Amino acid sequence: MFLRRWLLCCMCCLPLWAQAQTIAFINPGKKDEPFWRTVSESMHAASRSLGMRLEEQFAERQHLSVFTIAKAIAARPAAERPDYVILTNDYGTGPELLRIFDGTGIRSFMAFSTLTTPERVQHGGPREQFKDWIGSLEPRAQDAGYLTAQALMAKGRAMRAHGPDGKLHLLAIAGDRSTNSSIQRNEGMQRAVRQAPDVVLEQTVYAGWSRAKAQEQMGWLLQRHPQARLVWTGSDLMAFGAMDALVAAGAGQPGRTVWFSSVNTSLQALQSLRSGQLAALAGGHFIAGAWALVMLYDYHHGRDFASEGLELERPMFTLFTPAMARRYQQRFGQGFDRLDVRPYSKVLNPNVQRYQFGFAQLL
């Protein structure tokens, strides 16, 4: 009995760094949605490699559900609350999520999509108005839009997909109007178009990341802009929806008469790139969740990432070639058990002076 009490006492007196670190992640996506499922799998693999306890709840693309989940976590008894919560700012939910957790003793970290510039003006940055918001990490989303648009336009030129006016005519199917990562992808695409005097951006629509919505929109876009033979999309599901509409309308064949670009590393997207149905594909940004765990591990163990900045934006998108797609499938096609993020931690590797948060090095 004495020994048992002594062990319990010792466990209670362990310093913060010696106790298991607990993280909650409010996943805005669906359990069966390829991108957010990949995020989930890679984060759980990263947490295992770092010895963290990660819990995750899916909002199933019902963006108001994130508030219900957040309030339930914040309402737990103090001893049952996680040390940290990872949030996204999908559909502008970020400020309210930060408010829910502020003052609860749960530190908030934003990953994938942080506050927009107008939101930051109103609410401040990390450790300002919301004291428990300690930082954020975003993939440099403009890269995705820029790289895929450039590659798509190059394909159009190579295939002589010009209209009667000698121009390449482009349609854009974007995610949503309010999520920062969506805004940045669109700006990257638009920057590539501005640099291309032979390209006309006919119309941009917003499909809300939905395959069905993209299919519906593509149906009437084909009627409105029959000269358009290039289609830029902000995610793989929207690309597949647009392809479905093209084939159903008998208006052409993906990769033969109409060319598509997209974002994400789902199995179908990688196979579509290798088969030629997709002319361009960028991805790898799903790893931002795993990198966020590295930052929180170091912070928890006394190495504050503030030395590099409180709001980090890093290049994580890779423009995939068919060979890279094959290599990715060989390495991660069966899951992320081989993912080990410990070499990227400053605490575990004192020689690391700056976070290397790309994606290509993992291949």
User: Which helix (H) or strand (E) segment is 110 a member of?
Assistant: strand 107-111
Position 333 pLDDT exceeds 90: no
Residue 334 has what pLDDT? 86
Residue 10 has what pLDDT? 40
Residue 361 has what pLDDT? 85
Sign of CA pseudo-dihedral 290, 293, 297, 302: positive
Position 219 pLDDT exceeds 70: yes
Question: Which alpha helices (DSSP H) does 178-287 contain, by range?
Answer: 180-194, 211-224, 236-248, 267-275
C-beta of residue 237 within 8 angstroms of C-beta of residue 211: yes
Q: How confident is the model at residue 207 (pLDDT cuts 50, 70, 90)?
A: very high
- Residues written for the chain: 363
For 123-162, write each residue's pLDDT tens digit: 999 999 999 999 999 999 999 999 999 999 999 999 999 9
For 51-98, write each residue's pLDDT tens digit: 999 999 999 999 899 999 999 999 999 999 999 999 999 989 999 999
Query: Which residue is listed with tokens 């939910």?
Result: 93
Residue 19 has what pLDDT? 65
Position 14 pLDDT exceeds 90: no
97 CA to centre of own chain: 18
Q: What angle do CA 85, 87, 91 make, to 5 degrees?
A: 160
Most distant CA pair in the chain: distance in Å?
Answer: 89
Strand partners, 247: none
Q: Under 8 Å CB-to-CB from 358, ≥6 apart: which residues? A: 284, 314, 315, 316, 318
Q: What is the CATH number of domain 19-139+286-317+334-362?
A: 3.40.50.2300
Q: What angle do CA 129, 134, 138 make, to 5 degrees?
A: 110
For 346-358, write each residue's pLDDT tens digit: 999 999 999 999 8
Q: In the chain, where are the structural domains located?
A: 19-139+286-317+334-362, 142-263
Q: Residue range 30-51: average pLDDT?
A: 95
Q: Which of 113, 111, 40 minimizes the C-alpha distance to 339? A: 40
What is the rounded CA–CA span in Å between residue 264 and residue 270?
A: 9
Position 12 pLDDT exceeds 50: no
C-beta of residue 113 within 8 angstroms of C-beta of residue 26: no
pTM, full prediction: 0.88
Position 1 pLDDT exceeds 50: no
* CATH H superfamily, domain 142-263: Response regulator (3.40.50.2300)
Position 26 pLDDT exceeds 60: yes
Q: How confident is the model at residue 192 (pLDDT cuts 50, 70, 90)?
A: very high
Q: How confident is the model at residue 2 (pLDDT cuts 50, 70, 90)?
A: very low
Q: How confident is the model at residue 180 (pLDDT cuts 50, 70, 90)?
A: confident
Sign of CA pseudo-dihedral 236, 177, 242, 166: negative
Q: Residue range 115-125: average pLDDT?
A: 94
For 234-293, write each residue's pLDDT tens digit: 999 999 999 999 999 999 999 999 999 999 999 999 999 999 999 999 999 999 999 999
Phi, psi torsion values for 22, nearest 5 degrees = -110, 130
Residue 328 is encoded by which pair of tokens?
A: 């990715």
C-beta of residue 31 within 8 angstroms of C-beta of residue 58: yes
- Side-chain half-sphere CA neighbours of 135 within 13 A: 20
What string of DSSP letters covers 317-338?
A: -EE--HHHHHHHHHHHTT-STT
Q: Residue range 6-18: average pLDDT?
A: 42
User: Which helix (H) or strand (E) segment is 161 a member of?
Assistant: none
Pairing relationship of beta strands 318-319 and 278-283 according to DSSP bridges: antiparallel
Same fold, 19-139+286-317+334-362 and 142-263: yes
Q: How confident is the model at residue 203 (pLDDT cuts 50, 70, 90)?
A: very high
Average pLDDT, the chain: 93
**What's 285's DSSP letter?**
G
Which range has the worst mean pLDDT, 17-26, 150-159, 314-323? 17-26
C-beta of residue 151 within 8 angstroms of C-beta of residue 139: no
End-to-end CA distance of the chain: 52
CB atoms within 10 A of CB 60: 15
Residue 20 has what pLDDT? 74
What is the rounded CA–CA span in Å between residue 87 and residue 70?
A: 9
